[in-house]
A = this chain, B = another copy of it.
Amino acid sequence: MLNTYLIIIGDEILTGRTQDTNSHYIASRLNELGIAPKSIITISDDKTIIENTISDILEPADIVFVTGGLGPTPDDLTVISVANVLKRRLVLDESIINRIEKIFTSQKLPVPELATKQALIPQGAITLDNPVGHAPGLILKQGKKSLILLPGVPVEMQKIFETGVLPYLNDTYALKPDFILFLRTTNIPEMAIVEKISDVLKKYKNIRTAYLPSILGVDIRISGIKDKKIYLALEKELNIRLIQYIYGKGQETIGEIIGNLCRKKRLTLGIAESCTGGLIADKITDIPGSSEYFIGGAVVYSNKLKKLLACVKESTLKRFGAVSKETVLEMAQGIREHFNTDIGVGISGIAGPAGATEKKPVGLVYIAVGTKKETISEEHRFTGNRRMIKEKSAMAALDLLRRTIQKL
């Protein structure tokens, strides 16, 4: 694999004023070509530091990307530093000057003197057109190594990357994308996944597995697969091991998956939420066109509304409490009948930090999904702060909904 490095230049990033998004963008695009950078290094707008960093990294590198510091102001030091490291003279590129003059003239503005500095580039540099800004991208070839300089402004960097860098990488290094298997799981901790699948993974040579845990679950990303057959075989084996935990593949969200299922099976949804406070409806309505299957939701935060909208019996609330299996079972069927939908969802729990009792701790959540035929419920005990419990509860409810619809 090609040794690739990213150097991000900018005081604004080190001082926390700006979130660097360029390295993420470049890493994502390189990943599709089967390249992962060895490291990403963010440094200050300081000539000595820039020169030392580039000089150190150029030795083991095949390709080095540098973003930032390409502008014409005194704190833009990338071009001069690179020229020093590569021992090249700066030369005036007439085409750059002409382009900048054209931009200013078309805006009826005087051409600033700094435009000349913008046109000074190291001798032998290949220029990459910047259609959305002043500073062009630059590629410097040093033997078989490539040093690729891009502006720090994300929209300019991205444009040049797409129109100039990708064709260059294709021409120069003939890069081909690997297969990547991406599985999304929920309701199972990372450690349990590892125990369930590590013997399968061992059988496949040269693959790399990453576990990406979030509040909602653990995504499994397997890269380094060179062959479609191997991809399919591995996918099949993992699907068998993790059948009830895998809710999606690739970038699909649980909301999209439920949307697709509802459309395919022509089902309508109604939701009665207490502890999630609208979050389930929010996730469902993030999907364009969700009004086709989502009739509506009731955020029944008070017991009054649990009775009024979700048709929970007073006697059930008195006997079992608002946070109980019995209450969510009635909520799921009650909302289904009230809203006249195919499927009803009910959820009630203790999001905390207050509201817990000895028998009902913070994080205790009951979920129910009801269809015309049956109603099933689950009990969960989640940890974390209030928001995390809401997020985990919504995810668990949506996943129970997914599993229920898949069986229909």
Contacts and interface: CB of A to CB of B under 8 A. Distances in A.
A221 B12 CA distance: 9
Contact of A27 (B16, B189, B309): B16
A295 B304 contact: yes
Interface residues of A, number: 112
Contacts of A42: 23, 39-41
Given A36-B14, A44-B36, A191-B72, A386 B299 contact: no
A112 interface: yes
A374 interface: no
A287 to B, nearest CB: 8
Nearest to A32: B16
Oligomeric state, in copies: 2
A380 to B, nearest CB: 8
A212 interface: yes
A296 B296 CA distance: 14
A298 B309 CA distance: 9
A291 B302 contact: yes
A282 B286 contact: no
Nearest to A198: B74
A39 B277 CA distance: 42
Interface string A314-339: 00000000000000000000000001
Interface in A157-203: 189-192, 194-195, 198
A25 to B, nearest CB: 8
Given A17-B210, A296-B299, A339 B388 contact: no
A361 B23 CA distance: 35
Contacts of A296: 298-302, 304-305, 309
Interface of A: 8, 11-21, 23-31, 36-45, 49, 53, 71-75, 103, 106-109, 112-115, 131-132, 153, 155, 189-192, 194-195, 198, 208-215, 221, 223, 271, 273, 276-282, 284-286, 288-291, 294-302, 304-305, 309, 339, 351-355, 361, 381-388, 390
A279 B277 contact: no
A361 B106 contact: yes
A137 to B, nearest CB: 17
A19 to B, nearest CB: 4
Contact of A195 (B112, B210, B288): B112
A221 to B, nearest CB: 6
B11 A27 contact: no
Given A112-B191, A296-B309, A305-B296, A37 B14 contact: yes
Contact of A278 (B20, B113, B115, B281): B281
Contacts of A18: 24, 212
12 contacts: A11-B36, A71-B213, A73-B194, A109-B189, A115-B191, A155-B388, A278-B279, A291-B355, A294-B301, A296-B304, A297-B299, A297-B301
A286 B281 contact: no
A74 B189 CA distance: 15
A73 to B, nearest CB: 5
Contacts of A11: 36, 208, 210
A210 B15 contact: yes
A355 B279 CA distance: 23
B75 A209 contact: yes
Nearest to A361: B106
Given A43-B39, A211-B73, A295 B285 contact: no
A299 to B, nearest CB: 4
Contacts of A26: 16
B71 A190 contact: yes
